Each structure stands twice: as structure tokens, then as C-alpha cells.
Amino acid sequence: MPEHDGLMRIFWPLDLPRTHSPGTIVGWRNSGLDVFVVGVLEDVDARSVEGALKVGTLFRSSSHPIERIFGLCEQSTMHVLGLANIPGSEVDALQIHANTGPAYRLPLISCARASTIQIVMYDRPLPTRMQYISLNPISLALSDKAGMVTHLPGSVDAQEEQEEMKAKNKKELLVEKLKLHTVSKHSPSPKDEALPKIVNQINCSWEVNKLLQNNVSLVGRRSRRTLSVSERVVESATTMLEIITLAVWEVLTLYMYPVVRRGFVIGLLCHRVVAEALLLLLEWRPKPDYAALKDISATAQQVEIRLQQFCYWPMQHVTLRKRKKDWESVTTNHPDYIRFYNSLWLVANDVIIGIALGSYIIDNAAWVAESISEILRLYSIGSLRNTIAWLMGWPAGLKLNGELATFLGDLFLWVIDHWSNCVEALRPVLPHLIWFIGFSSFAGASMPIALFSDLLSILTLHIYSFYMASARIYNWQYTILLSLFQLFRGKKHNVLRKRIDSCDYDLDQLLLGTILFTLLFFLLPTVVVFYLTFATARMAIIILKAVLDTLLACLNHFPLFALMLRIKDSQRLPGGIRFELRDTQTIMTRSSNKEMPLPTSYISLKSVPLTFRAMFHQYFQLGHRIRSHYLSPLVILCLATGKFVPPIHRKNLYSLQYSMLPARRAGIMDMWNVLTEQDPAGLKRNVYPDFKVNTKRLNGNVRRYHH
Amino acid sequence: MLTIVPHLRTRRPSPTTIEYTVSTSPSLTFSLRILITLTILLRTLIGFSVLLLLYSRYDLAFPSTRIIIAPPFFTDERIWYTVHLILSSRFGLLALRTAPQIPVFILLPLSAAILYLLSLRIHTTESLLVLHGLGIQTSTSSATYLSSATTRFIPTAKIQDVLVNEAFKGFEVRYYLVIVVDEEEDVVVVFPRLLPRRAIVERVWRGAMGCLYAVEGENKMKV
């Protein structure tokens, strides 16, 4: 192998014992001078270890097939990498010799073929605690949503998306151009390419080391001492207990467990069928571009999210169960684990808060209903009526057109009167409604919030219609004024060429147009004040609903479990790796009495925990989207000209809530297959692994007696 | 006096590993150490008095029962007793007298701003660690004492290029070191906060290229 640079790279675990006892260093050899140390087997001969590794004695009684580990580490076998603490011994040219006495803070390593040495010291992540390291930050959201929903052409969101795409393409072009600036392309060396492999080796190293240390007694010189009588008594007593528990366990698993399990699966499936029916109802659209029920109502959407979660959980759980059939070092399912428990925990939290809220609402239903109807009467009817009355009589000294103001005001007041009658009719029902909302909150605090949001939309329907009506009138007047202004200037708008042309009008046309223009212009302020009033009221309601939606998003999506993990054990949320150059001056001076063989750098490898910013990444994204939508010039233009302000697309607004759910939910048959296929394997697994675990524990005890 | 112009420090235990550190912190002499200790003491003192002011304002708004007799040492009441002792000291009485004279809407943002200023670090340290066969790691110390340094590791396989670029900053032209990462839209700027002068940047670039691509790097330097 062309190792022209003479650099030896050694990955060295930090938890190796610092003793003088001689040993054999075992690990993976990724390429000639690139080695990964898994462990040091003490007091055994290197040659016998080599043989044991070939035959597989050292991998005996592993809980899972060792080939899986070999596959993960992309190696066909483990190697003897060198010797530890045997001064003056003969080692191969490629093998290393390490001194790890208690006097040295860091191991001293030499190798015949190397000219410089890099020692990367790593902490073994504990797979039993689900710690692991990864090169890329762990993703808390499911990432299969790309390009799922497309916008209708011509809508504001489609335009926004187009602009986004344009900016993206521009940037891609720039990136392509930047590639041309690279003078020479360096082909990566085997050491460069080994990094992903090494990350897997680090993740596996704890379990492999444990397995090796368990089996080290099978190798080499040490003979097995027979057990003493007392030890034998203890062992037979424990095995007797094991046998009895095993028998009871077998009876339970053979006769009771399948029945219970089958019942449970059937229950789940019935639930799934009902959920499917409800989901179909919620997602049904009369025409492809019409809104479905879940798009209109917050409650329907909340129900839909919950149902989707219930559909997804069994699948997720089965995936997580499969984890137990494999080595703990396999880290592919850890993000799934975090997502699963995060959603479970959020639902549990939601229900707990909901029970508290619900019992409060039910206890005080009459008072709550009374205050709500009071607030409604005061703000949505009383103050609106006062404002309109104020606008009718020259508000703030503005001399509006009295007749038009009276006309418009009377119109709106008349509708308000009718509406207040309707609300009065609703009043006796309100306590029951509130009671119902309170009762619904036993399904989670998000339910009453969603219901309240819907109730708010219904009870302020009149404001919405006022806004629509006044916006329409204002928009008409605005467009008429624009075209009459062109006439006033002697020009006209050419529709075909989309430009302003000069035009020779007749005298009567000009006269009539100018008179109409003057009239409409003087009537404009009156319409504007009415439009502004209702637009402001509408905005206030939208903001209130946005607050409720944010609350819902927090209840449905907050990364609670991830935050807890970050505080409890940040190693479980890896956000990348970090290297730290250790100071080596002291080591150099300490070992100066012998000849200092090679320039060596000591580097420690650490895992970087996921940043809080990355955890809340989606919230930032949502905030950015809302800002770019509602503060865009287009929306402000719409507002100024009285056009209908397009609401932000629901895909953008609620992508946060769906980010933990798959884009396409699994069908009923899929679920049935997944839940039943595992049956025979599951049964077998339940009987045997326990036995294995126990024997392993016994082995461990036996080993301890040897020492 | 506490900070100096960014200067370069190099650590190179073996030819395949170099760490370049650019820092505004001068080398620590005895007098400087004393000075830094004094500033830390001053900071804690100011921070403590701001907290005391805030607490006395809170105590005036929502008075609680004071614990006057000394309770046993390892109890919760002991904390409140200590608080009482502090509040009834001369310093505490002064805070109790000043607190009501400042309106809350000024006091709260002002004290938040002061506490933030107190948590700012004096020195900025940024470093570049080049590991042959592994990659490049940039690291930047954070602005406040509350958070740790941010690091970014780029494996060699993903490094497309390392180059020195120039850009306008205010009315001057700055040379800076960038790492172009494969399949990423943004480049990574090395030493983003300090942006050291061209001499330093060139030295770092030469060293990093030489270390990263041990053989090919030499040819490139001739160009």
C-alpha cells in the first residue's frame, strides 16, 4: 500500500487501564498505518490471540451475530495491532508498541514504519445508554416531505415559491462557478475516506471490547480452575431459581401471551379502521382544488393530527422493537426512538394539562359562558356599534360625506342588529357548549384550544363579512378612480398591450368622466374609514387566531424529550464531532530520559451536543415564512388597494405540526402485516434471550472467581 | 491595555498536525493576571449590586416575611436569613432606598443590558486546526461567558478548496481565509470575528495547505 507520507494514525480509547501489565492490543486495521484500537487484552500471548481471532473463540457467546459488527465496521476480521508494556519485544514492522504505565498521562507509542504519529483519543459512547457519535447533526424531524404538496398556479404562495426557486437556482449557478476556481482536485487518500467507517467503529467499540474482555479467559495460558464446593452450591441454587422462573415464564409466554397479543392486535386494527374512515372524511374534497374539512377547521385538523399519530405509533413501535434483535451499537434507529417518545410524551402532557383545564372549565361552566358572552357582546357587537355610530358623525373632525356615511353605517348597523339577535338566541346554549368544550379537553388541552379557535371564527363571522363587503366597495371605487384618472389625463389603459396609451376623448366623455372622478374622489375618504375599521378588526382576529395556532403548535410539536435528553445526557443528541489538540510539552519532557522516537500529536475526539438552535430550527423556519409572507410588499399592496389578502398556505403554516409524521401513512393491510409477521419470531425471542442473558451473567460470575 | 491587535500563535507537535490560534489576548504576565483578576472582581461586584437592586425592588413590590432569627445552617430558611442579613446591611439599605426611585420600565431593561455587558468576554480567540488525513476544524470563542466555543469540523473528503479571498468591510479591503465545502451553498470563513491581516492569513493558508495535502501542497505553493 503506498503510504508515502509515513503518518501513523491511531485511534485510542481513553478508558484503557493505565497499568504496567503486558498485553496485546486488538482492533481494526483500516489501512496500513491507520489503526483503530478497540482494547488491550491483558496477560495473553499475541500469537494465541491472533489464532483466537481467526477461529472466533474471542467472539463466543455473543448476544447477536458478530458478522453484523464486521459489516458495520467494514472489516472482515479483527487484527492484533501490537503489544503493550513489553519492552524489548519483537514486533512486526506495521505493529505498534505502547507504554501505558500509570506514570504516563497519555500512552507512548512507537512503530517501526511510521515517521510521525497522530494519536486520536476517543471516549467510548455507551451503547446501552444509547449514546453515539455522528458526523452530521441528528435530525429531529422526519425528512420525507420534499415536494409533497404543490401550490395552485397563480396564487401568492406559488409566486413566493417561484421566487425562492429562482434564488436557489441563482445560488446553484454561483456554486457551480466556484467549482471552476479550484486549481487542482486532490484525490482523497484511504485515510480521508475512512472517517465514516471510523465513526461506526467508535460506536461499536464498547460492545466489542466487552465481548473480547468476557472471552479473554478462553485464550492462551490460563487454565480454567474448577469451582469450589461452595461456589457450586451457589451456582446450582441460582440455576435452580433460573429454571423455575424460566418454566413459569415459558407457560406464560406459550399460553397467555399469544391470546392477549392477538386480542390487542385486533383491537388496534379495529381502531385503525375507524381512524381510516374518520381521516377519509376529514380529507375528503368535493373537487381537487377545494378545501377539505381539515383545512377549514382547527378542530378537524387537531383530530386529524391525533389520528395520524395513532396510526403511526404501532409502526414506529415495531421498528423500535426490532432494535432489540440487533446490537445496541447500531444507531440508525435512535432518531426514531427520540421522535416516538417525544410524541408520546407530548400527548401525555397534553392530556394532563387538558384534564386540569377541563375540570376547571366544567366546574365553572356557567361563569365561563357568562364572561365569554359578555366579552363577545362588549367587543364584537357593542364597541363595533359605537365605532360605526362615531364614524357616521364626522369622526375626529373629518368632514366625511354625511349621506354616504349614514347609508353605510345604517347598513352595517342593521346587520349587526340581526347578528346580535342571533347571538342572543345562542346565549342559553352557550353553557352547554362550554361544558362540551371542557369535556373535550380530556382528550388533550389542544382540543379546547382548537375548538375555541373555531368558535371564535364562527362568532366573528359578521366582522369577516363586513371586512369583505367594505373591501369590495373600496376596491371598486379604487379601480374606477384609477381609470377615470387616466381619462382625466387624456389617456387610457390599453389592456391588450398592457400599457398606457394616449386617447382623444370627446368633450362630453371628458366632462362626464371628470365629474364622476370628482364625485368619487370626494366620496373616497368615507369609504376608506369604514374599510380601515373593519380591516383592523379583521387583523386583530387573525392575530388572536395566530396566537392560538402557536399554542397548538407548541402543544403538538415542542421538542420536549429532546430538550430533556440534552440536559440529562447530551451524548445522546450528537451534533457532530470536535477535535482538540492536547498539550504535549509535559509528556515530552517526562520521557526525555529515553530517546523520544517520533514526533507525536495527541488529539482528543469529542462529541458536540446538538445546539438549541438546531432543536428549534423548524420554529425559526416557520417564523421566517410567516414574516416573509405577511410582510411582503405584495400583501401590503393588497391591503392598500382593498384586494383580498391571501392567507398563508396551510402547508407552510402547519408543516411544523406534521414534521414528526410520515408524508404517507401506512395502510390498514400494511399495519396488519407488520403486526402479525413478527409473531413466531417474537415468541421465540421472548424465551431464549433471557436464558442467554442469564448464562452470560453466570459466566461473568465465574470469571470473577478466577481473579 | 487588556487586548492587543490579533496575533498568531502556532502549535505544531508533529508535522501533520497544526493548530493556528488568532487571539486578542496578550501573553499573560504577572501584572496582567492581577489586572484581569481585578476586572473579574469588579464585574462580580457590579453584577451582584444590580441583582440586589432588582431583588429589593421585588421585595418592595411583594413584601415577604423576613426571617430574623438565625436558623440551623443546612435549611432553606438559612438562605432567606442570609438575604435578610444582606438587605439590612448598609449596602442593602442603600439599594432599598434607590430601587423605588427608578421606574420599573427603565430598571428592568437597564439591568438586563448591564448584566449582558458584564457577561461579555474580554478576549476573542479563534483557531484553525488542520489534521492531515482527517480534515479541518474551525473554532470561534463565544461572545459571552454563558456559552462555549462553536466549532465546525470539515472532513478532508468534503473540502473542495481552501483559498484567500478579499472583500469590502466598511471603507477597507480585508483578506480572509475561506473553506469551500462540497455540496454546500455557503463557504466557511475562518477567523470570522477577528478577520486578521493579510500577512497572518497568508501564513495560515500556506501552512494549512502544506499540512492538509502534504505532497501536492508543495507544488501548489510554487505556483
Q: Which grid cell sits at A143? A: 425528512
CA distance A37 to A20: 18
Q: Where are the domains of chain A?
A: 1-157+195-225+574-609, 227-332+674-707, 359-556
- Contact: B155, A599; criterion CB under 8 Å: no
Identify the top-confidence range among A132-136, A623-627, A660-664.
A132-136
Helix (H, G, I), strand (E, B) or coil at A661: coil
Residue B155 pLDDT level (bands cut at 50, 70, 90): very high
Q: Using the beta-carbon criterion (under 8 Å), do B131 and A603 form an inter-chain contact? A: yes
User: Same domain for B110 and B175?
Assistant: no
Q: Does A257 have pLDDT greater than 70?
A: yes
**pTM greater than the 0.90 cutoff:** no
Task: Decide if A517 contacts A485 (C-beta within 8 A).
Answer: yes
Domain boundary residue among B97, B118, B139? B118
- Closest-CA residue of chain A to B134: A192
- Based on the fold, state whether residues B135 and B200 are members of the same structural domain: yes
Q: Which of residues 164-193 of B touch A (CB under 8 A)?
A: 180, 184-185, 187
B133 and chain A: CB distance < 8 Å anywhere?
yes
B223 vs A contacts (CB less than 8 Å):
183
- pLDDT value for A597: 62
How many residues comprise chain B? 223
User: Could you give the C-alpha distances from A576 to A137, A336, A642, in angstroms and in order?
Assistant: 5, 18, 51
Based on C-alpha coordinates, what's the Rg of chain B?
26
Q: Which domain holds residue B189?
A: 7-25+123-222
Strand A574-581 vs strand A600-609: parallel, antiparallel, or unpaired?
antiparallel
- For residue B134, which of A138, A27, A579 has the smallest C-alpha distance? A579
* Burial degree of A554 (CB within 10 A; 0-12, 13-18, 19+): middle
Nearest-CA distance A664 → chain B (Å): 29
CB pair distance less than 8 Å for A188 and B223: no
Contact yes or no for B13 and A600 at CB 8 A? yes
**CA dist., res. A454 & res. A647, Å (int):** 16
Asked if A116 lies within 8 A of B15 by C-beta distance, the reply is yes
Q: Do B19 and A581 touch (CB under 8 A)?
A: yes
Placement of cell 501573553 in the chain: B27
- pLDDT band of residue A398 (cuts 50, 70, 90) is confident
- How far is it, in rounded angstroms, from Cα A70 to Cα A73? 5
Please give the residue of chain A at the shortest CA–CA distance from B139: A578
Residues on chain B touching A184 (C-beta within 8 angstroms):
216, 219-220
For residue A323, give the amino acid letter: R
Q: Is A135 exposed, middle or buried (0-12, 13-18, 19+ CB in 10 A)?
A: middle
Indicate whether B167 and B201 sit together in one domain.
yes
- Residue B86 shares a structural domain with residue B128: no
CB-nearest partner of A195 from B134, B213, B214: B134
Distances (CA, A) of A214 to A24, A236, A555, A702, B140: 15, 21, 47, 11, 44
Q: Which positions in chain B touch A584 (Cβ < 8 Å)?
A: 13
Examine the fold and report which residue of B76, B100, B118 is the final residue of a domain before the chain moves on. Answer: B118
Residues A479 and A459: their CA atoms lie apart, in Å, by 32
Residue A166 CB coordination number (10 Å): 10
The per-residue pLDDT for range A538-588, each reduced to its tens digit, is 888 888 888 888 888 888 888 889 899 999 988 889 989 999 998 876 555
Q: Does B144 touch chain A (CB under 8 A)?
A: no
Is B16's CB within 8 Å of A601's CB? yes
Between B153, B161, B219, which is nearest A576 by CB? B153
From B74, B103, B118, the end of a domain falls on: B118
Q: Is residue B2 part of a domain?
A: no
Which of B136, B148, B161 to mutate: most A Cβ within 10 Å?
B161
Q: Could you give the number of structural domains in chain B? A: 2
Please determine, for residue B43, whether its predicted confidence score (pLDDT) is greater than 90.
yes
Distance from CA of A3 to the nearest CA of B (A): 12
pLDDT in tens, A348-387: 999 999 999 999 988 888 888 888 888 888 888 888 888 8
Q: Does B31 touch chain A (CB under 8 A)?
A: no
Yes or no, beta carbons of A578 and B14 under 8 Å apart: no
B155 touches A at CB < 8 Å:
yes
Is B155 within 8 Å of A195 when comparing Cβ atoms?
Answer: yes
What band does A590 get if pLDDT is binned at 50, 70 and 90? low
pLDDT, tens digit, 9 for 90 and up, residues A458-470: 888 888 899 999 9
* Number of A–B residue contacts, CB under 8 Å: 98
Touching check for B19 and chain A: CB below 8 Å?
A: yes
> Are residues B110 and B193 located together in one domain of the fold?
no
Residues 6+ apart with CB under 8 A from B144: B116, B119, B120, B121
CA atoms of A228 and A488, how far apart (whole Å):
116
B208 in any annotated domain: yes
Q: Which residue is closest to A599 within chain B, CA to CA?
A: B14
Closest A-chain CA to B180: A178
Tell me if B109 is assigned to some domain.
Answer: yes
| Structure confidence at residue A145 (pLDDT) | 55
State the pLDDT at residue A649. 65
Q: State the angle between helix axes of A446-459 and A461-488 in degrees (0 to 180), rounded to the nearest 10.
A: 50
How far away is chain A from the Cα of B94, in angstroms, using its nearest Cα? 39
Residue B22 has pLDDT above 90, yes or no: yes
